[in-house]
């Protein structure tokens, strides 16, 4: 039975990744052991961690100035780990949505936070481009894709201040100049492996200036020294991430996926704009290519629409609990056919109810 999985996260994974992971849960690389049973200090696992790091750096065009870490605690832990390591006095943040707001809330516990733009009063429907980053900021924090409301930053500021970016919901979905960032973090699972792991990519030169006595798990330097195995990492999640990165390369890499993602998003936004029953509230130039939010203009039709898409084996289309409406998450692994199928359902609904 074909299921169209529009979940926001954990979300759809490439079929090949699920299949290979399932085989490896039974017998990993003909070792006779499950991937769930290997030691995190074994050669088998060291190879996984090395390969995953290598693939990430190659895909992003990053050299040895950068370290790649696989941590736990989600992006949520990064909200405090970042200021703990990088904030001496002040940092600049963009408040572009729920997760950005949470990052700001945590950072305020460590020092002064200057919010350069807040979209709160406009329900986060657009992202300001013209803001000024004062020169005395320890870093500038932004969220490249706002998963809940469905906005995405298309350009990043040119600044000498280190840029820290939460890419949890659009990492590996497009080609960017990744060298412009001093720290990138992304928690699984959307475009990377199974949940329970957060990738942190750090330009090493930004560390060590803060002389605070940081608890070991919170200290990036200690994780770098320990090659992400300071404590037991999430072996399975790192393994599935490696498989997902291999899948991305087999698809042709970030540029190819970016084009596919743009195409899927364009088709869906076109339908929402054309269809008399639906609307999208996001400023056109900030529309996300990963999370497409939309609403029924007439809320009374919700029951009918919900009945139809659920019957057609579409899952995960409900909007976030804070927002209501609908959200189609169309990450890398979501096939074009699922988007086309949803569009057909929306067209059919319009024919019946407009």
Binding site for ligand PMP (CB under 6 A): 9, 74-76, 99, 143, 147, 166, 168-169, 187
Q: Which is nearer to ligand PMP, 82 or 137 (CB)?
A: 82
Decide whether 24 or 329 has the Cβ nearer to ligand PMP. 329
- Cα(125)–Cα(121) distance, integer angstroms: 9
User: Taking the complex as a whole, how short is the minimal distance between the CB of residue 344 and ligand PMP, in angstroms?
Assistant: 28
**Phi (first) and psi of residue 19, to 5 degrees:** -65, -50
**Catalytic residue, candidates 166, 170, 203, 219:** 166
192 backbone dihedrals φ, ψ, rounded to 5°: -115, -165
Q: In the complex, what is the shortest distance from the CB of residue 287 to ligand PMP, in angstroms, rounded to a whole number?
A: 16
Tokens found for residue 314? 């579409």
- Cis ω for the linkage preceding 189 (within 30 of 0): yes
Q: Residue 88: what are its φ and ψ, rounded to 5°?
A: -95, -50
Task: Between 75 and 113, name the residue whose CB sits nearer to ligand PMP.
Answer: 75
Per the structure block, which two tokens stand in for 303?
Answer: 């029951």
The C-alpha atoms of residue 64 and residue 124 are separated, in whole angstroms, by 37
Residue 20 or 190 with smaller CB distance to ligand PMP: 190
- Which candidate in 99, 203, 219, 309 is catalytic? 99
CB of 47 to ligand PMP, least distance (A): 26
Q: Is 190 a catalytic residue?
A: yes
Distance CA 71, CA 150 (A): 26
Q: Which position's Cβ is nearest ligand PMP?
A: 74
Residue with smaller CB distance to ligand PMP, 95 or 166: 166
Question: Is residue 108 annotated as a catalytic residue, yes or no?
Answer: no
Query: How big is the chain, counted in residues?
Result: 354
CA distance 331 to 270: 18
Strands 145-146 and 198-203: unpaired
Which position among 190, 203, 260, 264 bears the catalytic label?
190
- Alpha helices by DSSP H, the chain: 15-26, 43-60, 74-86, 98-107, 220-225, 235-251, 254-274, 302-311, 336-353
CB-based contacts of 46: which residues, under 8 Å, 6+ apart?
Answer: none
CB of 82 to ligand PMP, least distance (A): 12
The least distance separating ligand PMP from the CB of residue 220, rounded to whole angstroms, comes to 17
Q: Kindly list the catalytic residues.
A: 99, 166, 190
């Amino acid at each position: 039975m074909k299921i169209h999985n529009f979940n926001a996260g954990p979300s759809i994974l490439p079929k090949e990744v699920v299949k290979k992971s399932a085989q490896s849960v039974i017998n990993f690389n003909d070792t006779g052991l499950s991937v769930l049973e290997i030691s995190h200090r074994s050669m088998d696992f060291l190879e996984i961690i090395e390969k995953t790091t290598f693939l990430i750096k190659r895909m992003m065009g990053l050299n040895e100035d950068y370290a790649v870490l696989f941590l736990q605690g989600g992006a949520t832990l990064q909200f405090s780990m970042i200021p703990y390591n990088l904030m001496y006095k002040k940092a600049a943040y963009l408040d572009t949505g729920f997760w950005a707001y949470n990052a700001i809330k945590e950072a305020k516990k460590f020092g002064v936070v200057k919010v350069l733009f807040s979209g709160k009063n406009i329900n986060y429907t657009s992202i300001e481009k013209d803001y000024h980053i004062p020169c005395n900021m320890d870093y500038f924090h932004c969220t490249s894709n706002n998963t809940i409301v469905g906005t995405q930053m298309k350009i990043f500021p040119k600044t000498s201040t280190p840029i820290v970016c939460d890419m949890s919901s659009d990492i590996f979905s497009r080609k960017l100049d990744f060298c412009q960032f001093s720290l990138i973090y992304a928690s699984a699972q959307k475009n990377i492996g199974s949940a329970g792991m957060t990738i942190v990519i750090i330009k090493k030169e930004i560390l060590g200036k803060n002389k605070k006595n940081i608890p070991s798990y919170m200290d990036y330097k200690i994780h770098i020294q320990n090659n992400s195995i300071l404590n037991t990492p999430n072996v399975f999640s790192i393994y599935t991430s490696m498989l997902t990165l291999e899948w991305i390369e087999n698809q042709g890499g970030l540029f190819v996926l970016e084009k596919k993602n743009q195409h899927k998003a364009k088709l869906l936004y076109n339908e929402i704009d054309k269809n008399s029953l639906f609307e999208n509230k996001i400023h056109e130039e900030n529309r996300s290519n990963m999370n497409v939010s939309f609403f029924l203009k007439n809320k009374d039709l919700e029951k009918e629409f919900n009945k139809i898409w659920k019957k057609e084996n579409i899952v995960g289309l409900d909007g976030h609990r804070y927002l209501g409406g609908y959200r189609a998450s169309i990450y890398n692994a979501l096939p074009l056919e699922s988007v086309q199928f949803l569009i057909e359902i929306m067209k059919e609904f319009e024919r019946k109810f407009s």
